[in-house]
Amino acid sequence: MSIIVTSETRVLVQGITGEFGGRHTKLSLDYGTKIVAGVTPGKGGQFFEHGTHKVPIFNTAKEAIAITGATVSAVFVPPPFAADAILEGVDAGLDLIVAITEGIPVRHMVQVKRAMLGRKTRLIGPNCPGIVTPGTGKDSVGGCRIGIAPGYIHKKGHVGVVSRSGTLTYEAVYQLTSNGIGQSTCVGIGGDPVNGTSHLDVIKMFNDDPETWGIIVIGEIGGNAEVEAARWIKANCKKPVAGFIAGATAPAGRRMGHAGAIVGGADDTAAAKIAAFKECGIEVAVTPSDMADALIRAAKAKGVKLA
């Protein structure tokens, strides 16, 4: 099994006719993901074509869902219009929205999160690489790839990866796959200060998933979501967990690329988060090259198999 999405998940793409959305829709189709619809207001009735695929485009998310049975959306809409697209998907009753868009005003996301209260839709992102549940084919083809992650570096297996950063997730996945260790699901929760799904939300799902045997948690400076997750792990999670925190050398008060990656007080520094990880029994990767090895150490200590 996997968490959140499976190879059967039916996906619609908001912003499918844009350059960015189109390029990644093609890669997802090649990966075997069931992209069943596109939504671009004003382009309803047209088709998104790629090889033998012919994906129908609709004017509204509601229409796309009614006709294709999509339950999940990938949002590639430009920043000024992304909040609108997310809320359209929420109102249309989607189970999950994965917002890839980078640069959405924080105020928009504050309002989106408030509007999503009490609704069934889960939001992942924004400003995230998306989610991958690897498939069983060559280079993990046949899985579900929603977003912009390179599908081919994955391998179907039993390690869950959750991260705020795209390229660091790829780094961890690549190290695992190179070691012959596959992944159940890899989730990029995004680098913005206001996001839909937290480290802890994902870790709880990994903990409940019998097919996930070990977990890699990748965090960075800013906020205290990693510390919150670490405390929960200490109290509730028996599975081996490895962690890495980026930004030990970041100067205080400067935004390091990600809108959320800024050191405010003493508690959101890399050092404070690493200390919390250690205190909570998480095996800390000393460098980003050590992420897979750290999980292997943690698994060995608990006598747990990872593959």
Chain positions contacting another protein, by CB under 8 A: 24, 27, 79-80, 103-107, 109-111, 113-115, 148-150, 153, 163-171, 174, 191, 193-194, 218, 220-221, 223-225, 244, 246-251, 253-261, 265-266, 270, 286-290
- Could you tell me the smallest distance in angstroms from the CB atom of residue 56 to another protein? 25
SS3 54: strand
Nearer to another protein by Cβ, of 174 and 232: the residue is: 174
Place of tokens 């937290």: 198
- Could you tell me the smallest distance in angstroms from the CB atom of residue 246 to another protein? 4
Q: How many residues does this entry show for the chain?
A: 307
Q: Is the dihedral of CA 136, 141, 142, 143 positive or negative?
A: positive
Contact 38, 58 (CB under 8 A): yes
- Could you tell me the smallest distance in angstroms from the CB atom of residue 45 to another protein? 30
Kindly state the tokens that stand for 145: 């790839």
Place of tokens 């790829």: 170
CA 23 – CA 95 distance, rounded (Å): 24
Q: What are the residues facing 219 on neighbouring strands? A: 245
SS3 21: helix
- Which is the catalytic residue, given 24, 108, 158, 258? 258
CB atoms within 10 A of CB 159: 30
- Could you tell me the smallest distance in angstroms from the CB atom of residue 216 to another protein? 13
Give, for 187, the enclosing helix (H) or strand (E): strand 183-188
Contact 206, 3 (CB under 8 A): yes
CA 71 – CA 56 distance, rounded (Å): 15
Nearer to another protein by Cβ, of 83 and 241: the residue is: 83
Contact 237, 208 (CB under 8 A): no
Nearer to another protein by Cβ, of 69 and 105: the residue is: 105
Catalytic (active site) residue 258: yes
Kindly state the tokens that stand for 298: 């943690």
Name the nearest CA neighbour of 74 among 135, 110, 128, 19.
128
CA 121 – CA 93 distance, rounded (Å): 7
Nearer to another protein by Cβ, of 255 and 305: the residue is: 255
Nearer to another protein by Cβ, of 105 and 180: the residue is: 105
Name the nearest CA neighbour of 5 among 92, 135, 125.
135
Nearer to another protein by Cβ, of 9 and 163: the residue is: 163
- Could you tell me the smallest distance in angstroms from the CB atom of residue 153 to another protein? 7
- Could you tell me the smallest distance in angstroms from the CB atom of residue 165 to another protein? 2
| Residues forming the active site | 258
